[in-house]
Amino acid sequence: MTSHFEAGNHKVLMLLTSDFVTSRYEELRARVPTLKIITELGTEPDPDVTALFSFKLPSGIAPRLPNLRLAASVGAGADGILAAPDLSENVRVTRVIEPGLGLSMAQFVALQILAQFRSLPKLRSQHMAGEWRRIPVPDASKVTVGIMGLGSIGAVVARVIKELGFRVIGWTRSDAREVNVPVFVGKRDIRRFLEQCDYLVCLLPFTTETVGL
């Protein structure tokens, strides 16, 4: 996690809702030792807090931070922050961008696809029954994996799954970054995109624009 935050007189509230957030808290303290960080908010409003770092923003927190200017999600998406019904529109919302996040997601996606593609549930059943029957190995190049969302994470997932031999196509709500796969754009292309998918991976942010898509 890189830090470009100028400590100055800023006071940061960091909600330690998981071990992952706690690790980020410890790293931030080590990188910016002069930054004043609190992990709990009292019952009274705190006008000194100008930034908040968290994975989710529970209702009732934002109104008690009258001078809040930045709400940063420590996860890959900011939907946990944006879902707060009482967050002011004047607060800038950001999220973490780390190279490792894309690879981590790609590993998880590959695990799920390969488990089905290589018939892992059947192999487990055979193992439990003490049986062995050869299962044909399908041709990955004839299997299409569709990826919805080609941002910093989706682009990495597309590359990794393609390197495993699958045919990969992508869909994005607007113009995508450069990816070496066929790309479908907007609602006009979504049906043509979905009709080709054997496996579908959704990496879109959870926002009002994507709910019910």
pLDDT in tens, 147-172: 999 988 899 999 999 999 999 999 99
Highest mean pLDDT among 10-19, 162-171, 176-185: 162-171
What does the angle CA 133 – CA 143 – CA 198 come to, to the nearest 5 degrees? 100
Domains and CATH numbers, the chain: 11-95 (3.40.50.720), 99-202 (3.40.50.720)
- Out of 49-63, 67-81, 106-120, which region has the weakest mean confidence (pLDDT)? 67-81
Mean pLDDT, rounded, for 129-146:
92
Q: In which order are the strands placed within the sheet that holds 167-172?
A: 183-185, 167-172, 144-148, 199-202
pLDDT at 84 over 80: yes
How many residues in total does the chain contain? 213
| Pairing of β 199-202 and β 144-148 | parallel
Q: Which long-range contacts (CB under 8 A, 24 or more apart) does 177-181 make?
A: 177/150, 177/151, 179/150, 179/155, 181/147
Q: Any bridge partners for residue 202, and if so which?
A: 148
Q: Which two tokens stand for residue 57?
A: 């923003």
Asked if pLDDT for residue 4 goes beyond 60, the answer is: no
The overall average pLDDT reported for the chain is 87
How many CB atoms are located within 10 Å of the residue 89 CB?
5
pLDDT at residue 75, as a whole number:
73
200: Cβ contacts below 8 Å, ≥ 6 apart? 145, 146, 148, 194
SS3 94: strand
CA angle (89 as vertex; 34, 45 as ends), nearest 5: 55
Q: How far apart are CA 18 and CA 201, in angstroms?
A: 26
